[in-house]
Amino acid sequence: MIGDVLVSTLLCNNLRKAYPNAQIDYMVYKSTLPVLQGNNSINNFILFEKKHRKSKIAFFKLIFDVRKEKYDLIIDAYSKLESWLTVLFSNAITKISYKKFGRTFLYTHNVPVSDEPKSSIGLVIERRLSLLDPLNLDIEFDVVPRLIVSDNERQKASEIFNQHHLDRGKKTVMISIIGSSANKTYPLAYMSKVVDIVSKKINANILFNYIPNQLELAQKVYENCAEGTKKNIFFNLLGRDLREFIIIMDSCDLIIGNDGGAINMAKALNKPSFIIFSPWIEKQMWSTFEDGKLHDSVHLLDYQPHLIEEKTKKQLKDNSIALYPNLKPSYFKSKLSLFIDNNLADKNKKTTPTNFNKLFTQHKFFPLSAVIITYNEEEHLEKCLASLVDVCDEIIVVDSFSTDKTEEICRHYNVIFIQHKFEGYIEQKNFAIQQATHNYILSLDGDEALSDELKESILGIKAHWDHDGFYSSRLNNYCGQWIKHSDWYPDKKLRLFKKGSGEWKGINPHDSYRLKNGKKKGVLEGDLFHWIYRDYDEHKEKVENFSNIASKAYYKLGIKSSYFKIIFRPSWAFFKSYFLRLGILDGKNGYRICKQSFNVTFLKYQKLYKLWHQK
């Protein structure tokens, strides 16, 4: 597709910067060659044609022609059957592609696929550029695809405009009225209203972008337009081929309409764009360089998110035609008018594009917020904060009105300190998440800290966030001893997650972060250190307190106790942790831990029984 071909030219452009004398070849569909014309970063085009799809002999001849070149490096940005075979037989030294199930053996480097953009250059561009990460290129990255138009071609475009008697004193607007397929095409009656909005907003020449086999659909859009609008439409001013469309677009002032190749070519010509996305297209993928002025877009998710959320991409694609009418032109009329004002009104200066290269460099990593809940944590808090400063971009402490030096310690680490009434561990942690500025959260308690190995693992995730949440092993320090058995290790905890992927749930004081159905989970290397009890007396005291909290929480939930639960649940808790989970191997402290596991379970169900029978 044209958008993919344009975006992937960034690989060629940046490789040329890094290796000025290299031979850089580009395998593309023959039909997309017009968008590559004039690109000096590319030495040769390897053309994939219809015959290579129809004939296995022709396809394997192409593969062995590639093999003969003895490439040092092959980057597979396509990752489909044809490219797998090309890579497999290429005999290249270095082979790079995205990390996908079942094909990692084909490549020397498998780059994780990010699900969230780091900057406004767009996820599709960030993903392409990530394929260069294994090369560690020491260059300033080129992040904007460009189309090259010659002076002779601009003269040709001027002649075409003159032939159709365009008023060159007016602005010229291209409207992409029909998408590449039915499920990427905004309802035709709605598109006519969009054209009317443009015509009423500014007296401009209006060109329609469509291909000859879409003529009947294009006529429907035209016929539904107001009579005053029709006078401004140059219906038959079309490029005879892809290259002629490019030179016509180069002479327009902006483009509005369906997402697709026309929009991507306009952006590559540095033309302002306003995109209407299909419900099944991921806006964050293709809303490249969006700043609300030079480039803007609308999606059903912006106005009626309940129709989109919790649906798979396949479900959205299958139902996109039925969903599309819910995105009414009236919803974004004012936004479209503002876009026109920003880019066509003579009274306003043309928007200066953001320095996207600098923006990309600044956002090499996903920003991460650490959130911590505290109450009188002066003993371990400094270890916690010190372990976060090199990993997190923001540290937020939500404190329950501590009476020790907790606040003073926080000031030394430049944290955002918030005091909030404690209503329960679960409630406090969910409140803390909402205070975070960034979309990625590391949630800790004040008596926890990251090991060096865990810090390295999190930094790796920040570069390529490819799951909704990550588990890590928690290593507990009990009375000065690191506990390696019973129910206390590996003690998996999900503490690193994307905001909105789930919430803290459970029964106080036992909380856990639970992802929504369908969310992807990963595992981090390294341990989360946890200092739990200084001595055995503190443990016994906490058992009494925890059993009070838990019994009341169970009572509120309607959970009942019985003599059976009072007798057998504690015995099972001890047997499981001491014998089945090998608490016996942790010596005296292992026995103490398992004994208190018995006690807290016994007291919880005993107190719960009393609550139900207190009257």
Residues sharing a CB contact under 8 Å with residue 26, sequence separation 6 or more, in sequence order: 8, 9, 12, 36, 42, 44, 45, 46
pLDDT at site 66: 93
Q: Do 58 and 186 share a structural domain?
A: no
555 within domain boundaries: yes
142 within domain boundaries: no
- Is the separation of the CB atoms in 126 and 8 below 8 Å? no
Residue found by looking up tokens 């060659």 in the block = 33
Compute the average pLDDT of residues 462-476.
87
Average pLDDT, the chain: 90
Q: Do 382 and 336 share a structural domain?
A: no
What pLDDT band is residue 615 in, cutting at 50, 70 and 90? Answer: low
- State how far the Cα of 134 lies from the Cα of 149, in Å rounded to an integer: 33
Q: Specify the CATH number for the domain of residue 372.
A: 3.90.550.10
Final residue of a structural domain among 308, 327, 350: 350
- Which token pair is 183? 């499920």
Q: Is the pLDDT of residue 354 over 70?
A: no
**DSSP category for residue 487:** G
pTM of the model: 0.66
pLDDT at site 353: 55
Taking only the tens place, the pLDDT of each residue in 524-560 is 999 999 998 778 887 787 788 778 878 888 888 888 8
Final residue of a structural domain among 135, 162, 184: 135
Q: Do 335 and 241 share a structural domain?
A: yes
Q: Is the pLDDT of residue 464 over 80?
A: no
pLDDT at site 303: 92
146 within domain boundaries: no
509 within domain boundaries: yes
Number of domain units in the chain: 4
Q: Do 65 and 35 share a structural domain?
A: yes
Closest CA to 87 of 100, 230, 266, 140: 100
158 within domain boundaries: yes
pLDDT at site 599: 86
Q: Is the pLDDT of residue 361 over 70?
A: no
471 DSSP β-pair partners: 494, 523
Q: Do 282 and 396 share a structural domain?
A: no
Compute the average pLDDT of residues 83-102.
91
Q: Is the pLDDT of residue 334 over 90?
A: yes
Final residue of a structural domain among 292, 315, 350: 350
144 within domain boundaries: no
Q: Do 380 and 395 share a structural domain?
A: yes
Q: Do 447 and 321 share a structural domain?
A: no
Q: Specify the CATH number for the domain of residue 210.
A: 3.40.50.2000
Q: Where are the alpha helices (DSSP H) in 113-226?
A: 123-130, 151-163, 188-201, 215-224
Residue found by looking up tokens 């958008």 in the block = 3
Q: Domain limits at 574?
A: 536-613
Q: Is the pLDDT of residue 352 over 50?
A: no
User: For the ranges 260-274, 396-410, 493-507, 585-599, which has the lowest average pLDDT?
Assistant: 585-599
**DSSP category for residue 439:** S
Taking only the tens place, the pLDDT of each residue in 243-262 is 999 999 999 999 999 999 99
Q: Do 372 and 313 share a structural domain?
A: no
Q: Do 170 and 85 share a structural domain?
A: no
Q: Do 523 and 496 share a structural domain?
A: yes
Q: Give CA 354 to chain center in angstroms.
A: 21
Q: Do 435 and 550 share a structural domain?
A: no
355 within domain boundaries: no
Q: Do 340 and 424 share a structural domain?
A: no
Radius of gyration for the alpha carbons in the chain, expressed in angstroms and rounded? 31
AA identity, residue 475: L
User: For the ranges 67-81, 272-286, 347-361, which has the lowest average pLDDT?
Assistant: 347-361
Pick 351 or 39 by higher pLDDT: 39
Q: Is the pLDDT of residue 116 over 80?
A: no
Closest CA to 263 of 129, 122, 162: 122
